[in-house]
Structure formats: C-alpha cells, structure tokens
Structure 1
Amino acid sequence: MLLKGPLWRRLLAGSVLASVALPLVLLLLYRVVPVPLTPLMLIRLVEGYGIDHDWVSYDEIAPIMVRSAIAAEDGKFCSHWGFDWGAISEALDDADDGGRLRGGSTISQQTAKNVFLWPGRSWLRKGLEAGFTVAIETIWGKRRIVEVYLNSVEFGPGVYGVEAAARYHFGVGAGQLSGRQAALLAAVLPNPIRFSASKPSAYVNRYASRIEGRARAIGKGMYPPCD
C-alpha cells in the first residue's frame, strides 16, 4: 500500500534528519572516544581477513612514529587546514587529461575516509570526504586527527592501528618502535596488503630509508600539537 502524503513526508524528513544527525554525533563522540570499528575493517572482514585492532593514546605512541607517518604521507600536515591544494590541483589536472581520479590526500582526508566512509575514488566519495575533513580539522584538531589516524589505518591484512601493527610485525608496543621500524610501517601505508613491514621488499627498504631521513629532519614544532 502506498504511503499517504503526510506520513511519507514525515518519514522522508526523519530519514534526512537521521542522515545529518548521526555523522554529527559520531564526529563529537570520536573527538574523545576511541574509534572501535571502521567501514574498511568490516569490508576486509567480509573478504576473509580478521580484525586485529588495539587502541592506544597519543602519548603511548613513539614520537618517531608520528614523525614518520607525516614524513611519508603528509609533509605539510602542520601547515594546512585539511587539504594540500597543490597535490589536489595536480590530481585534477590528470583527471582533466583523461587520467583516473587519483590521490594527493592529506592525513586529515585519509582519516575522514577511514573513519566515516568507504574505499574508492568516485567524485561522490571525495565530496563527502571533503566535508568530513573540514569537520574534523575544526572539531578535533591536529593532535586528535593523528591519534585517530594511527589507531585506525590499515598496516597489513586484518591489522589496524599502530599498536597492533607494532606487535604483529616487530613484537613490541607502539611506544617502543625504533626509527627504522617506524619508517618501515610508514612505508607500507600506500598498499599494506601488498607490502610487509616485517618482510620488506627492496622497494620498501629503499622507501623506508628515505622516510627515516625525512623524519629526522622534522623538528619538535613540525608534528602535533604543531606548535
């Protein structure tokens, strides 16, 4: 039976309100509460991977891991407001020339995607990602963004967050990571299914060496809280 006008409108209004309210509630909640699960974790679970995920606070993560992640993924993290416009411009130019819409994403954008959205490179997904990026930059701040990022990002098949990754790959906690170990973990972030931090290919070893150099060059004021 078809819904009559008033009821149909109330249901539609309720659906719209819920679609707006739920993300806002999660944004506020995740500002202080650990993120328990992400869409990617659920997708990987369906694909046959387990979920190895242990949350640790920012202060329990070795500072060199924070610097290594920034050196590998987003060198301008402390100076931008969520977007690296130079990288975005290059990606859009490539798309205009007929290429595939590609990355150029900052740590803030990756965090927004990891926590709230699904993998993919569609314009719709990127548009939603932009909105969440502005929100977390405004509501969370840099320190919280890095804390959530390093606790949610995929470091291997079914391995999420730096604590689980450090124990899985090196048998230590996130706070005991050496500079080389941190660089190896950061080096696999572009493709943690293909690459391994504990069994690095020649490419991963070379890339990790470059990350080590960049991480050493990052001073105290160049990583969160970005003073």
Structure 2
Amino acid sequence: MNAPATESAQVRASARRRRARRGVAALEAVIVLPLMVFIIIGGVEMYLYTRVMAVMDRVAFTLANSISIQTSLTDDSNCTSPDHICTYGVLVPTLLMPLAPKNAAVIISVYATNTPFNGGPPSAWTNISSPNHGWTKIVYQGASAATPTSQISAATLPTSIISRNLQTADTVIVVEVFYKYQPFAFSGAFFKLFFNPQQYSRALIRPRYADLCRLINPANPAPANSICGS
C-alpha cells in the first residue's frame, strides 16, 4: 500500500537533487566564466604590451645603429640619404609595424664631452651648450602623439662611460622612442593601475667613424669644432 507513496517521494527527491545540481552549475558559471574572460583578456593585454616594448626596443636600436655608421649628418628636407637626419624619421612608420605610427614619437640626440680625457678626471657631457657640442632633434611625431620631451640630459649621462682617449672628446648617440599604448576599454582602468600608457625606450651607442657632434645645416654652415673635429 505504501509503494506508490515511496516511489513518489523518491521521484521528488531525485528532482530536488537535479535542481540542486543545476543551481550549483549555474553558480559555478557565474563565478568562473567572468574570471576566465578576465584571464583571457589579461593574457592578450600582456602580449600586446610586451609586443609594444619589443618593437620600441627594436626601433631604438635600429636607428641608433644606422646613425652610428654615418660620417656626417645633415639637417635639411632631403629625406632619401642616410646622412640626412630626416631620413630616420621617414623610416619610423615602417620600423614600428605592426604598431600604429600615429601614437609614436622619436627623438635623436648626440652628446659630447667638453674636453678630451687627458688623463685627468672625467669631462662633463654637453648638449647644445656651445656650438657643435651636440644636438637634439624630434625626427618623428605621430598625429596622436604628444610632443615628446627627452628623458636624458647632459647631467644624467654618467661620466663613467666617457672614453679615456687623450686626443679627442667623446660622443654618444641617444635615440629615444615614445609610444602611447591604448589598452582595451574593458581592462584600461586596471592596466593603468600598474603600467604607464606612455611607453618609453632608448638606445645609446657611440659613433663608429666620426663624432657626429655637429648637425650640419646647409643654409647656415657652422665652423668645425676644435674638440669634436666635425
């Protein structure tokens, strides 16, 4: 007589268990799915960020290395020859691929010591403090990039890297690359808590065949510098 009631109770219990399992699955989905989406977006964001830094390093080194083999540099509008400084600005969009050139800017500088080492204490670095003693020029600025400001100065360059050459002053080429990184809108606020959207990379290298401490202006040529010898 009690068999139907027992079976009915078992059916109801089984239904409750199924509903409970569905509830647990729904709760897991509510917790896990947003977390998985966040992890996936975070992984993509980190990949894009590291790619930006790698490309910026490549651009800085490539430009610095290319400039270092020149015997002179001219500042005019003929941007087809490697000894004209504007040529390196023309190359920037190609070197930046696959990044957006509109977000980038590049500064090229040359710093020179004011005297040879001469066996004494290290000389000081100079930049545009006297004729032919170095220069700084913005060679590229994308449409969406802010006007860049050099992060290096004569005061911040270490004197310990100055050559001990007794005859001539030392010079160093500095290429600085700036890039405005734009994270996903979803993760932008979180990204800005840990990273600066304005990314920066630089490369320093010595000229190989000439000091390059004078940027030649054909319209107003300056005399050769007695120390740098340009």
Q: TM-score, normalised by structure 1?
A: 0.33
More helix by share: 1
More strand by share: 2
